[in-house]
Chain A
């Protein structure tokens, strides 16, 4: 295991990208930081810039406006990094899959930039905070 990967698994810093979500997944992500779940005790911190991040938490369908910006954010994130597609919208498009502003699921947008990207899926509308923690743990174990 490379040193970089080992360091990433110890304390993954996350950057939150909303690519057209309804705020549900977003407030559940913020819920993770607050006293009931408090993921900071595991070293998970929400950072303000993708350049500081080890993982991207992507929520929402990838809209036409957001798609190029999501790809740019992925390019700016230091590799290796893990992309978490959080919620039904980010995983598949969910209820919005027939919408005219839907530009393909998040994994397709990321794979267009980097075919070998590590992508983890956390389904649910919205996934409960417990499910998000479980998803992150499973993804880190699989690395």
Chain B
């Protein structure tokens, strides 16, 4: 295609487009076929969950936050209950810790295999999509057997877990994981040997280690760029310090490395699940600590969700409802790294690079901008928000006497 040097075109992608299942609007600035700049607009999925949470009691909020994102519906409630347990300094029984790890790792396998299938779909390789999702189904069956639902688990609760998993199910879980491992091994070998995937994914969308640190990316996106961060190891929660597993990293930073990291993480997750399922029958005791009331104070909780670190902040004033609940999901950090990983590639490669961080826009959209309809002016501009934030910090400092 001939083009004048320096002649820019804008390709709008979205908000409703067949590539991803969520609405988001990408603006790709191209010269010829090369993407030279890009921008993104969202908020089609913004629902105002943080505000809703302040109208619910501490025990009701987990049901709300598991609907922040349907794929991380075990991670968000866990991060929230850890934040509340941080306020109340609540000790969680050991059995509950193992049960939390078990469900979270089953979710990680389901999410990573789901993404792997979609990645195949994005590059037009639907065989990968069908195979990956076929082998994901038994994992969903395990989740349905143990928690009662395929996707929304309602598992975490302040002080422990809501429902016990009967010890009679443990051999079934181990059997299910053992049956999942050979197909997973086949998928990994297929990826490493497949010339089509090599041609489409290797050396594409490279996020260098420096850029990964600069953009503060999280989760598999960071680990594929050689940044070995993992909340499960760095600040252990649930039962992750009690079981044996490894953090997977790759150095290349391209899309292929992200595929490899995610698939190998499934193997590690299977290891964790098996260890939990083997140990749970030996651990008796309660599954939930008795929680009378949440004192005034503030707490934070973070969890390694399948996409990276998800962070919840909760403040309480002693009433039965949280006064403030702040959620920061991993995609919020990962999405801006497009600026580093997409520039300079062709449009066809950018589509898979956009998907390679496994973006979750329903997690990310935590803010709405209000614009006056008549004048077109923002009610609160960026400068106003900064001013409000600085005033508040000053006030809190005065209250604390610093």
Q: State A22–B43 Cα separation when bound (angstroms).
A: 13
Interface size on A, residues (CB 8 A): 40
Contact B67 A95 (CB under 8 A): yes
Query: Interface with B: A98-106, A112-120, A132-140, which one?
Result: A98-106
Task: Please name all residues of chain A whose beta carbon is closer than 8 Å to the beta carbon of B68 when the two chains form the complex.
Answer: 22
Of A19, A66, A99, which one neighbours B51 at CB under 8 angstroms?
Answer: A99
Query: Interface with B: A1-9, A31-39, A78-86, which one?
Result: A31-39
Assess whether A126 is interfacial by the CB under 8 Å rule: yes
Assess whether B116 is interfacial by the CB under 8 Å rule: no
**Closest chain A residue to B114 by CB distance?**
A27
Interface size on B, residues (CB 8 A): 39
Quick one: given A34-B134, A98-B55, are A66 and B21 in contact (CB under 8 Å)?
Answer: no
Q: State A73–B17 Cα separation when bound (angstroms).
A: 11
**Closest chain A residue to B51 by CB distance?**
A100
Task: Please name all residues of chain B whose beta carbon is closer than 8 Å to the beta carbon of A128 when the two chains form the complex.
Answer: 150
Quick one: given A96-B52, A98-B55, are A23 and B47 in contact (CB under 8 Å)?
Answer: no
Assess whether A21 is interfacial by the CB under 8 Å rule: yes
Assess whether A92 is interfacial by the CB under 8 Å rule: no
In this complex, the member of B47, B67, B151, B152 whose beta carbon has the largest number of chain A beta carbons within 10 angstroms is: B47
Contact B64 A101 (CB under 8 A): no
Assess whether B380 is interfacial by the CB under 8 Å rule: no
Quick one: given A19-B44, A27-B71, are A95 and B64 in contact (CB under 8 Å)?
Answer: yes
Contact B63 A95 (CB under 8 A): yes
Quick one: given A30-B21, A63-B46, A99-B47, are A24 and B55 in contact (CB under 8 Å)?
Answer: no
Interface residues of B in 5-53 (CB under 8 A from A): 15-18, 21-23, 43-49, 51-52
Contact B44 A63 (CB under 8 A): yes
**Closest chain A residue to B73 by CB distance?**
A24
Quick one: given A27-B71, A65-B44, A69-B44, are A99 and B52 in contact (CB under 8 Å)?
Answer: yes
Assess whether B264 is interfacial by the CB under 8 Å rule: no
Contact A126 B151 (CB under 8 A): yes
**Closest chain A residue to B21 by CB distance?**
A26
Quick one: given A18-B23, A128-B150, are A102 and B47 in contact (CB under 8 Å)?
Answer: yes
Could you tell me the distance in whole angstroms from the C-beta of B189 to the nearest C-beta in chain A? Answer: 20
Could you tell me the distance in whole angstroms from the C-beta of A74 to the nearest C-beta in chain B? Answer: 12
Contact A35 B133 (CB under 8 A): yes
Interface residues of A in 46-63 (CB under 8 A from B): 47-50, 60-61, 63
Contact B22 A23 (CB under 8 A): yes
Interface residues of B in 146-172 (CB under 8 A from A): 150-152
Q: State A25–B48 Cα separation when bound (angstroms).
A: 19
Assess whether B192 is interfacial by the CB under 8 Å rule: no
Of A18, A48, A96, which one neighbours B47 at CB under 8 angstroms?
Answer: A96
Of B44, B48, B51, B67, which one neighbours A22 at CB under 8 angstroms?
Answer: B67
Contact A34 B362 (CB under 8 A): no
Contact A101 B130 (CB under 8 A): no
Q: State A98–B64 Cα separation when bound (angstroms).
A: 12
Task: Please name all residues of chain A whose beta carbon is closer than 8 Å to the beta carbon of B16 when the two chains form the complex.
Answer: 17-18, 50, 69, 73
In this complex, the member of A16, A29, A47, A100 whose beta carbon has the largest number of chain B beta carbons within 10 angstroms is: A100
**Closest chain A residue to B368 by CB distance?**
A101
Task: Please name all residues of chain A whose beta carbon is closer than 8 Å to the beta carbon of B64 when the two chains form the complex.
Answer: 95
Assess whether A125 is interfacial by the CB under 8 Å rule: yes
Could you tell me the distance in whole angstroms from the C-beta of B133 to the nearest C-beta in chain A? Answer: 4
24 contacts between A and B (CB under 8 A): A16-B21, A19-B44, A20-B46, A20-B362, A21-B22, A22-B67, A22-B68, A23-B360, A24-B70, A24-B151, A27-B70, A28-B150, A30-B21, A34-B130, A35-B133, A63-B46, A66-B23, A69-B23, A96-B48, A96-B49, A98-B52, A98-B55, A100-B51, A102-B47
The 8 closest A-B pairs by CB, nearest first: A24-B70, A48-B18, A34-B133, A23-B70, A26-B21, A35-B134, A99-B48, A22-B70
Q: Please report B residues at the A interface, Cβ cutoff 8 Å.
A: 15-18, 21-23, 43-49, 51-52, 55, 63-64, 67-71, 73, 114, 117-118, 129-130, 133-134, 137, 150-152, 360, 362, 368
Q: Please report A residues at the B interface, Cβ cutoff 8 Å.
A: 16-31, 34-36, 47-50, 60-61, 63, 65-66, 69, 73, 95-96, 98-102, 125-126, 128
